[in-house]
Amino acid sequence: SNMEPQLLSLPPPPRVLIFPFPCQGHVNSMLNLAQLLCLSGLHVTFLNSDHNHDRLVLHTDIQARFACYPGFQFNTITDGLPVEHPREGESIMELCFSLNSITRPLFREMLVSGQFGLVNCIIADGIMGYTIDIANELGIPIFHFRTISACSFWAFFSIPQLIESGEIPIKGNEDMDALVKSVPGMETFLRSRDLPSFCRCSDVSNPVLQLMKNETQQSPRARALILNTFEDLEGPILSQIRTRCPTTYTIGPLHAHRKTRLAKHATNTLQSSSNSSSLWEVDRSCMTWLDQQPLQSVVYISFGSLAVLTRDQLIEFWFGVVNSKKNFLWVRRLDSTPGNKEGESEDIPVELVEGTKERGYMVGWAPQEEVLAHKAVGGFFTHSGWNSTLESIVAGVPMVCWPYFADQQVNSRFVSEVWKLGVDMNDLCDRTIVEQMLNDLMVERREDFVKSTAEMVGLSRRSVSEGGSSYCNFDRLIEDIKLMSM
């Protein structure tokens, strides 16, 4: 028919280059974003670090997950660190610095020399704010995506005012409970101890504080800011953010959003491919163990992909959990307690573990989304990483928060004080506190938490359903990308 020549001459869909900060929580959520873009017919280039890409290929079906999308491709780039670098705990900051000094010029070079093909727009992790200079220089439109909550983004964004007012550096322990005045919208509940962990420095010239401040300040220069959150959860803080970043698309919770869109498009191949993006090998044996546990009896314990516990912390947590007499599923990454100089075993003593075989199960890495959705799970003892928090919200599981670092302090304050979805241990780390908090969560205050978590489940699911705020915002984002690629 005479339609055909016209169809043939249609330009190819825009190609989006996605560049995440190379660690688990960022790669997870940006892969979900990539999949959503693919489902909307866009072409996507996903830039992994060599290090992470090898691990993804080793531990997941990542190639199969994306094989069905025409125009999807992975590219890799060095993260600038030697292979044996731990890439966890406080040392993760070295990754920030090596990305800036080594990866950044290489990234520019790869763009200039056309190694990604024609790129119509870039969605870069906003923690690498400097990507905007490269994009501007080369005339490529750029969006910033932040994998953190709106509330922690806003706290990061307010660092200049916090310095100006003298509220950071935090003076000392006696100041930790003082309310913070310079983060607009949080004046009535945010304490010094709830500020991002890098605000706890002795000097404002601290390189980590400076880096977080400077990178976050770049985002208003991007075409738009994209956040993995939803309006009903963070509306008031989003209004604050929009005074500085007027175009802010909230499109989360992304893991749930991916599911609703996937279900609409679903062909059998799409449905059957695994969605895991784990950098560690997933131990699924815990699902069988969970099947044997009573309804909502189990506390799921995981401190994410970066936290490194001292042996003392580990032992205090252990006794707290055991003394609470709750069933537990505990994720202990192989590398999550550091070696001990005195040659003392850094692990929980065998005789202690022996006594809890009935009630407890430990794995190196769990299928977390599935674990949280399991009917036997009744609580989550978490480090308040943003992905974990969102996954818990969607699954309706209340939390005991032990924020480890960075954005997690802000998240845990919101979980306990604003959203009332759990309790916050904050800086306390001893066995009696852990025991008491688990009891509050699972018994004493359970009714309250069940009510507030159920409400938030409804709101979170509605936001990513057809007509919901995140669903509509995502459609607007796609339109925006298409418009500027013409």
Contacts with ligand UDX by CB under 6 A lie at 24-26, 28, 147-148, 278, 302, 304-306, 331, 365-366, 368-369, 385-388, 391, 406-408
* For ligand UDX, the closer CB: 16 or 406: 406
Work out how close the CB of 227 gets to ligand UDX at its nearest, in angstroms, rounded to a whole number.
Answer: 11
Pairwise CA distance, residues 261 & 39, whole Å: 7
State in angstroms the smallest separation of the CB of 4 from ligand UDX.
Answer: 45
Task: Report angle CA 476, 482, 483 to the nearest 5 degrees.
Answer: 90
Cβ closest to ligand UDX, residue 218 vs residue 302:
302
Smaller CB separation from ligand UDX, 36 or 478:
36
- Nearer residue to ligand UDX within complex by CB, 390 or 478: 390
Point out the residue whose Cβ comes nearest to ligand UDX. Answer: 385
Q: Are 38 and 69 in contact (CB under 8 A)?
A: yes
**CB contact set of 195 (below 8 Å; sequence gap of 6+):** 155, 162, 168, 170, 180, 409, 410
CB of 401 to ligand UDX, least distance (A): 11
Smallest gap, in angstroms, from Cβ of residue 147 to ligand UDX? 4
C-alpha–C-alpha distance, residues 338 and 312, integer Å: 11
360-363 and 399-401: which strand pairing?
unpaired
Distance of closest approach, residue 288 Cβ to ligand UDX, in angstroms: 16
Q: Which CB atom, from 388 or from 473, has the smaller least distance to ligand UDX?
A: 388
**335, 89 in Cβ contact below 8 A?**
no
Minimum gap (Å) between residue 369 Cβ and ligand UDX: 6
Nearest 5°: phi and psi at 360? -125, 155
List, by residue number, the catalytic residues.
Answer: 26, 125
Question: Which residue number, 284 or 451, has a Cβ lying nearer to ligand UDX?
Answer: 284
CB of 91 to ligand UDX, least distance (A): 13
Closest approach of ligand UDX to the CB of residue 277, in Å = 8
Please, which residue, 52 or 147, has the CB nearer to ligand UDX? 147
Which residue, 157 or 485, is less far from ligand UDX as judged by CB? 157
